[in-house]
A = this chain, B = another copy of it.
Amino acid sequence: MIKVAVVGGTGYTGVELLRLLALHPQVALKIITSRSETGVAVSDMFPNLRGHVDLCFSEPDLANFNECDLVFFATPNGVAMKMVPELLASGIRVIDLAADFRLKSVQSWEQWYGMPHVCEELLAESVYGLPEINREQIKTAKLIANPGCYPTSVQLGFAPLLKNSLVDPGNLIADCKSGVSGAGRKADVAYLQAESTESVKAYAVSGHRHNPEICQGLQTLIPDKVNLTFVPHLMPMVRGIHATLYAKLHKTDIDLQALYETHYQDEPFVDVMPAGSHPETRSVKGSNMCRIALANPADGKTLIVMSVIDNLMKGAAGQAIQNMNIMFGYPETQGLESIALLP
A residues bordering B, Cβ < 8 Å? 12, 15, 19, 22-23, 46-52, 171, 173, 175, 177, 179-181, 183, 185-189, 191-203, 205-207, 227, 229, 231, 233, 235-240, 242, 244, 246, 271, 273, 276, 278-287, 289, 291, 295, 297-299, 302, 304, 306, 308, 337-343
Contact = CB atoms under 8 A, between A and B. Distances in A.
B302 A173 contact: yes
A48 B339 contact: yes
B202 A242 contact: yes
A194 B240 CA distance: 12
Given A280-B199, A280-B200, A281-B199, A194 B206 contact: no
A50 B287 CA distance: 12
Given A227-B298, A302-B229, A285 B47 contact: no
Given A187-B188, A286-B341, A197 B48 contact: no
Contact of A244 (B180, B231, B240, B285): B231
Given A193-B193, A246-B246, A306 B202 contact: yes
Contacts of A338: 23, 338
14 contacts: A19-B342, A23-B338, A47-B291, A51-B289, A185-B195, A187-B188, A199-B237, A200-B280, A202-B306, A205-B304, A207-B297, A239-B343, A246-B246, A341-B341
Contacts of A238: 193-194, 197-198, 343
B185 A187 contact: no
A7 to B, nearest CB: 20
B194 A48 contact: no
A253 to B, nearest CB: 18
Nearest to A299: B227
Given A47-B279, A180-B193, 15 more contacts: A12-B343, A19-B342, A23-B337, A47-B291, A48-B287, A50-B271, A173-B246, A185-B189, A192-B192, A197-B238, A198-B240, A202-B304, A207-B297, A229-B297, A235-B235
A283 B200 CA distance: 10
B201 A280 contact: yes
Contacts of A200: 177, 235, 237, 240, 242, 280-281, 308
Nearest to A306: B202
B188 A191 contact: no
Contacts of A283: 47-48, 50
A306 B231 CA distance: 11
Contacts of A242: 200-202, 233
Contacts of A286: 286, 341
Contact of A206 (B180, B195, B295): B295
